[in-house]
Amino acid sequence: MPRLKPRKPSQLERDWDPEHFVTVRNKTAHNILLDLPTGYFRLDAGRTFRMMPDIAETAQVKDLVATGQVEISR
């Protein structure tokens, strides 16, 4: 079995600086299945995840924010 080479930080696809991300929080007591351009993502009840800021431009996420089910912050 071939050994994988360790990736160096300069070879990562994205810069993981926390300033470049937003926090998305499910404020409800039920799981939400987001249909994102990159695929489905389950946002569990009460959970918080760090995501790219362009998630706020997705129609489903806009609706969830407008109804108060999801909160997006820096």
Q: How far are the Cα atoms of 34, 39, 48, 66 from residue 60, in angstroms, in the given order? A: 7, 13, 17, 10
**What's the whole-model pTM score?**
0.73
Residues 6+ apart with CB under 8 A from 36: 55, 58
* Residue pLDDT, tens place only, 7-34: 555 555 656 676 789 999 999 999 999 9
- For 35-72, what is each residue's pLDDT tens digit? 998 899 999 999 999 998 999 999 999 999 999 999 99
Domains of the chain are: 18-73 (3.40.5)
Q: Is 51 helix (H, G, I), strand (E, B) or coil?
A: strand
Cα distance between residue 1 and residue 20, in whole Å: 37
Which residue, among 12, 71, 61, has the nearest Cα to 33 in the 3D structure? Answer: 61
